[in-house]
Amino acid sequence: MGETAEVLSAISALQAQGQRMALATIVGVKGSTYRRAGARLLVPDAGEPVGNLSGGCLEGEVEGLARSVMAEGRPRLALFDLTADDEVIWGWGLGCNGAIEVFIEPADKAAETAEALRLALEQERPIAVATVISSDLDTVPTGARVLARSGEAAEWGAGQGSGQGAVDAALTELAVGALSTGVTETRTISWPDGDVRVFVEALHPPIRLLVCGAGHDAIPLVAAASALGWRVVVADDRDAFLDAGRFPGAGRFLRTEPVAVADAIDLDRRTFAVVMSHNYLRDRDYLRALLGTDVAYIGMLGPNERLRRLLDDLGRQEVVLAGVDSAKLHGPAGLDIGAEGPEEIASAIVAEVLAVSRGRGAGFLRDRSGPIHDRAQTDRAAAAG
């Protein structure tokens, strides 16, 4: 289970138990920080916190604020400026040159929204939420929020609407826009009587990894992908191999002939496929089925020569490799890290899938001339804030 899903599930569980809790969410960052906007920490009244904001550096401070929020029943916006003097920075145990803005709210008031987010991720549906994190207007409370789901009208959480038609409309527009662009950022809406700051978050379903071939070396790949919270689907034409005991991290099994795998599952742009049956004819049929679909990535195990033979065979069957297919085809699959053995190869493949999904070319971070994290969202948030 991914961290976001874990936090959202914990909110639902604690809500059912009637336990008090507070939810801390990073809503803005500037400069170099450990986590980005959208990272969460759930602080229960009793028990251990769930989630992570700073790798353990700020959690103690945030937990203290969270308990105050629980007691007062009111949200709070806190700024942790790590660009201050060295004494303050190292007092927090940090060496990052950045600032983190954290919105802390009573989680029981956010429970309905958390459940909606959890269900959307579980159902693999995109969702966006716009939350008021500060307001100069007495009539617009902090913590008010609107949800937007794909193909549905935007909606306010029960009892959380601002009651101001123009403000509600503006928040709805922000949420719907985030659903379209996928951008998470902090925006400011200016009114004659003051400003309303809004954290707009787009949550997309986790990566879906389609593993074509349920052999022994698929076991560590499924385990590594599921540990990241990815939705893993294992396909094979052999019933005996499709066993939950062998693949405890798999969310779904497909018993299908290789050539028909595209008919057995919706191959959309968030689907990443790895072909690894180790049988030449099966791999050829898997590849044939995947070419021309919307999958974002096709990883092929085996040397380049084997992939060339597969493509030549398909060419003789009048299966033409289009340019878009050529760009998404990765063979041999995985980053060049000198991987040996199934576990290391699985790590190399997972890393390559992650790089492709983030639009990165991999390589050493020390050789990266720009910032580690994408600055586009950070710069927009800073400008809006």
374 within some domain: no
* pLDDT cut 70: percent of the chain above it: 87
Summarised one tens digit per residue, pLDDT across range 194-214 is: 999 999 999 988 999 999 999
Same domain flag for 157 and 236: no
Mean of pLDDT values over 48-60: 83
The pLDDT assigned to 366 comes to 85
DSSP letter string, 159-189: T---S-HHHHHHHHHHHHHHHHH---EEEEE
Mean of pLDDT values over 324-353: 96
Mean of pLDDT values over 8-20: 91
The pLDDT assigned to 87 comes to 46
User: Would you give the distance in Å from CA 295 to the centre of its chain?
Assistant: 18
- Considering 181, 205, 229, which residue would you say is the last residue of a domain? 205
Q: What's the predicted TM-score (pTM) here?
A: 0.80
In this model, does residue 183 exceed pLDDT 70? yes
Specify the amino acid at residue 125.
R
Cis peptide before 332 (omega within 30 of 0): yes
- d(CA 327, CA 196) in angstroms, rounded, equals 44
272 within some domain: yes
In this model, does residue 287 exceed pLDDT 50? yes
The pLDDT assigned to 161 comes to 46
Mean of pLDDT values over 77-106: 69
- d(CA 2, CA 51) in angstroms, rounded, equals 10
Among 113-127, 208-222, 285-299, 337-351, the least confident range = 113-127
Same domain flag for 137 and 84: no
Averaged pLDDT score across all residues of the chain = 87
- d(CA 276, CA 326) in angstroms, rounded, equals 18
Among 28-42, 185-199, 231-245, 344-358, the least confident range = 28-42
Mean of pLDDT values over 128-153: 87
Specify the amino acid at residue 76.
R
As beta bridge partners, residue 139 has none
Same domain flag for 254 and 141: no
Specify the amino acid at residue 45.
D
Domain count, the chain: 3
Asked if residues 45 and 20 have their Cβ atoms less than 8 Å apart, the reply is yes
The pLDDT assigned to 294 comes to 95
In this model, does residue 372 exceed pLDDT 80? no
Same domain flag for 134 and 222: no
Q: What share of the chain is helix, strand, coil (3-state, %, to 5)?
A: 35, 25, 40
Same domain flag for 295 and 349: yes
Q: pLDDT band for position 174 (50/70/90)?
A: very high
Which range marks the domain in which residue 20 is found? 3-106
Helix (H, G, I), strand (E, B) or coil at 309: helix
Same domain flag for 138 and 235: no
Higher per-residue pLDDT: 369 or 278: 278
Mean of pLDDT values over 53-69: 85
Among 19-33, 95-109, 156-170, 211-225, the least confident range = 156-170
Cα of first residue to Cα of last residue in the chain, in angstroms, is: 33
- Considering 73, 106, 139, which residue would you say is the last residue of a domain? 106
| Among the listed residues 266, 268, 283, 260, the one whose alpha carbon sits nearest the alpha carbon of residue 331 | 283
- Considering 137, 171, 205, which residue would you say is the last residue of a domain? 205
371 within some domain: no
Same domain flag for 305 and 176: no
Same domain flag for 38 and 144: no
